[in-house]
Amino acid sequence: MNRLLVLFGGDSPEREISLRSGQAVATTLRKMGHSVVTADLSYAYERGTPSPPSESDLKGTPKDLPRFLQSVQPDVVFPIFHGGYGEDGTLQALLELWDVPYASPPPIACFLSMDKIHFKRLLTAEGISTPAYIVVEKSQWQLSGESVYDQVRQFPGFPCVVKPSRQGSTIGASVVEDDSFSVLQEALAQAFEYDDQVLVEKKIVGTEVTIGVLGSGSHLRPLPPVEIIPLTPFFDYQTKYTPHLAKHRVPPDLPSETIASAVETAVKVHRLLSCRGVTRTDMICDRSGRLFVLELNAIPGMTEVSIVPEMARHAGIGFEGLLEAMLKEALQVAKEKTLRGGYR
């Protein structure tokens, strides 16, 4: 039995999903016989109870985390945040400084995957296909919207997808189907509510595929690819987390060689960012059979409708097996760091 601390909540727009994921993880870890303490972190506790409220053993702001770690003395921390400081590498960097083992990718992997612009630049530098894009700064748009519109029309062109650089679950994202200035203006205004840097990328029409990768090094294991079939016009936040608004097909309705290439690419991206724990890489295969990487999720959802637990089931692992593998890897990483002279 291990002493485990499950962290969830946060202050990003994905707080509700983090609460659901965190509770699912904590409940399962307890069923496995571990001693589990849960902690809901949110700066809103300085102003009153955040919404939605949570059921947790501990509640406080991120500044309370050192005190929580001191009182719990966990063997491993499970950071189950989506978006914000829990997924962008900030929390992981603090845990590294405090010599606390944790079950998630390291800080640099979280940062690069959370920042879509840096992630796209890395993919391009490594020769990994990703949809054509430009970066639009809020100040640039305010200064000369017409010139930005002309640039988008020329490259990447319409239809396009507009999304904040540092946001998950397609929050603030929208699709611009035609070359209307007003529609692009509305999409950018929505995205700028969440970030001052916005990604405008070419919309690729095709088959959406997502692939999980578990572990690292010689223990790395890809999970079965899943085809996502949205039953709504856009695979947005509501579609992702509402049952029956999207269908999943395993294996995807693609040629076997394309599926194999997608798995190989997911593993390559996971390794490229030096990931561990479990990640999920989203891709789209266009009508010519070409694969494009959209993003990597460093801390994918663990709710009742999340895709990674479903992938694990198809692999014969199950949710308990998935969490056990993440726990063992975190303990092994800590052991190896200790042998090198310290967790840091």
Residue 342 falls inside a structural domain? no
Contact between 123 and 99 (Cβ < 8 Å) = no
Q: Are residues 218 and 124 in the same domain?
A: yes
Q: What is the DSSP letter of 61?
A: -
The pLDDT, as a whole number, for residue 218 is: 87
Return the percent helix, strand and coil in the chain, to nearest 5.
Answer: 40, 20, 35
Determine contact, residues 197/117, Cβ cutoff 8 Å: yes
> Would you state the pLDDT for residue 246?
78
pLDDT at position 47, please? Answer: 85
Residues 120 and 238 in one domain: yes
Please check whether residue 212 is in contact with residue 311, taking contact to mean a CB–CB distance below 8 angstroms: yes
Q: Give the strand pairing for 206-214 and 174-176.
A: unpaired
State the pLDDT at residue 186.
94
Clarify whether residues 117 and 249 are in a common domain. yes
CATH at 155: 3.30.1490.20
Is residue 23 located within the same domain as residue 86? yes
Domain co-membership, 320 together with 272: yes
Say if CB 296 and CB 269 are below 8 A apart. yes
Note the pLDDT of residue 344: 47
Residue 336 lies in a domain: no
* DSSP conformation class of 194: T
Q: Is residue 335 part of a domain?
A: no
3-state SS track over 102-145:
ECCCCHHHHHHHHCHHHHHHHHHHCCCCCCCEEEEEHHHHHHCH
Q: How many CA atoms lie within 13 A of 41 on its CB side?
A: 24
CATH number at residue 305: 3.30.470.20
The answer to whether position 319 is within a domain reads: yes
Is 333 a domain residue?
no
CATH code at 81? Answer: 3.40.50.20
Give residue 169's Cα distance to chain centre. Answer: 8
Per-residue confidence (pLDDT) for residue 340, from 0 to 100: 75
Domain co-membership, 144 together with 123: no
Whether residue 339 lies inside any domain: the answer is no
Cβ neighbors of 266 (< 8 A, separation 6 or more) are 211, 212, 213, 222, 225, 281, 283
* Closest to 150 measured CA to CA, from 89, 200, 194: 200
Domain assignment of residue 293, given as a range = 113-128+205-328
Could you count the other beta carbons within 10 Å of the beta carbon of residue 119?
Answer: 23
**49 CB-contact burial (10 Å; exposed 0-12 / middle 13-18 / buried 19+):** exposed
Q: From CA 57, how far away is CA 35, in angstroms rounded?
A: 12
Specify the amino acid at residue 1: M
87 and 22, same structural domain? yes
Q: How many CB atoms lie within 10 A of CB 147?
A: 11
Q: What is the DSSP string of 23-86?
A: HHHHHHHHHTT-EEEEEEE-GGGGTS--SS----SEEE-GGGHHHHHHHH--SEEEE---SGGG
**186, 216, 197: which is closest to 325 by C-alpha?**
216
Last residue of a domain, one of 175, 202, 229: 202
Query: Same structural domain for residues 74 and 145?
Result: no
Amino acid type, 6: V
Mean pLDDT by runs of 10 across the 344 residues of the chain is 95 91 96 97 87 87 96 97 92 94 96 94 96 95 91 94 81 89 94 92 96 94 94 56 74 97 98 96 96 96 89 95 97 86 55
CA dihedral 145, 114, 128, 274 (to 10 degrees): 160
Instruction: Tell whether 83 and 185 lie within a shared domain.
Output: no
Distance (Å, whole) CA 134 – CA 156 = 7
> Is there a single domain that holds both residue 119 and residue 165?
no
Distance from chain centroid for Cα 10: 14
Report yes or no on 34 lying in a domain.
yes
The verdict on 310 and 209 lying in the same domain is yes
Q: What integer pLDDT is reported at residue 53 of this predicted model?
A: 76
pLDDT for 7: 97
Pairing of strands 35-41, 133-137: unpaired
Rounded Cα distance between 157 and 152, Å, is 5
Residue whose C-alpha is closest to residue 29's, from 17, 38, 41, 20: 38
According to DSSP, the β-strands at 291-297 and 221-222 are unpaired
Report how far apart, in Å, the C-alpha atoms of 69 and of each of 50, 63, 102, 111, 335 are.
Answer: 22, 11, 12, 23, 19
Distances (CA, A) of 249 to 142, 151, 260, 263: 43, 37, 16, 15
Please check whether residues 42 and 79 belong to one and the same domain: yes
- Count the domains in the chain: 3
Q: Based on C-alpha coordinates, what's the Rg of the chain?
A: 20
Inside any domain, residue 307 = yes
